[in-house]
Amino acid sequence: MATDYALMMRNLTEFYDFTDMTLVFIGAGGGRCISYGHAPRRIVAIDQDAVALDQLRAAVATSNMADKFELVLGDFLTMDLPARGDVAVFDFCLHEMADAALALTRAGRLAPDVIVFDHGPASEWAYYVAEEAKVALSWQAVARFSVVKHREYATEQRFGSHAELLAKVQSQGEIAVRRIERFEGQTEITIPMTYELALVQPA
């Protein structure tokens, strides 16, 4: 993300204390969870994207935390679930699940606490990347469970040019590419983004 991810990680660690926990991290590829990996006792990192998981593996290898990570490649909705932990986190991936309610139910079998960390349903950024419908459905699924704690945050996605923005959203498909046409010729592009954290107890 072209945003202040360090701030978002601080929001997450202020929202929930991971100290000495066994953390099941869903959508962990890319290595972002390294930034707060010191607090948990153990991290089971799950992602269905092999390339993203390799990025995490490389980040873990250069950290001093390799002994606490277990990396698992698989589709969370269909894979054999790993051993139980204390808390499960969906990192900006619940909206990508084909069945968000099922994903939350499965996460509840892994841990008593489940954290959803994802785009807010009113986020302009979610609109520009053509994910607003999926995001809305995922939060509707969250509302069907017991939500113990909830917080909303605001940030921005920033890009130096339309070309830089296009490089970011092109993988989202033709709709996203069309939606950002309004920024053609602009520089220092800023798009508001909201994100939310919810502590859910699905069991």
pLDDT over 70 at 106, yes or no:
yes
- What DSSP letter does each residue of 28-85 carry, written as one string? -TTSGGGGGTTSSSEEEEEES-HHHHHHHHHHHHTSS-GGGEEEEES-TTTSPP----
Mean pLDDT, rounded, of the chain = 92
Domain ranges (residues) in the chain: 5-154+195-201
Q: What is the mean pLDDT of residues 174-184?
A: 97
pLDDT at position 3, please? 67
pLDDT (tens digit per residue) in 55-83? 888 888 888 888 889 999 999 999 998 88
Q: What CATH number does the domain located at 5-154+195-201 have?
A: 3.40.50.150
Q: Report d(CA 186, CA 184) in Å as an integer.
A: 6
Considering only 31-35, 41-45, 174-178, 185-189, which range has the smallest mean pLDDT?
31-35
